[in-house]
Structure 1
Amino acid sequence: MEQKLKEQFNGLLEKYTELMVGKSDPELIEKVQMWALYSHIAKSMPPLAKHWNETYPDAKDGMKQLVNEIKELNEEHRAKK
């Protein structure tokens, strides 16, 4: 993959994180990336997400926590506007 594309995409992801939760740092960017990708998988291939959730119940719980964290950060950020 082209380095320039990676850098540009990372910039997009950083800005998306900032717009979603009001700030961006490497940990938040990674969380938002996981949240976005999992959300897409769950919507586009529900059987795959279901299988993953059943195979890794601890990961499912971790993903629930991550989704809730992003949701709360987003709600706090929108309330400040």
Structure 2
Amino acid sequence: MLKIRLARHGSKKRPFYQIVVSDSRFPRNGRFIEKIGFFNPIASSKDKKIYINMEKIQYWTSQGAAVSKRTNYLIKKSKKLPVSNV
């Protein structure tokens, strides 16, 4: 089964998450199919905090991928954020 979920990167106490499509049998930071965004919870005001490619989300969900709870929350949150031309 395919899942859209977060893969944790970054150093100790400085998390950085990639939003990836992967098989649910693989480990959290293991093999993945495609990167479709990122989430940086400790980003400064200048840096982007969330980026999600919505076209890829729609494509993978149409292919049967399940979205994790936290990723679903981030998708809804990113839809509410104003779009910047950076």
TM-score in terms of structure 2 length: 0.32
TM-score in terms of structure 1 length: 0.33
Higher relative contact order (CA 8 A, sep 6+): 1
Structure showing greater radius of gyration is 1
Structure having the higher helix fraction is 1
Structure having the higher strand fraction is 2
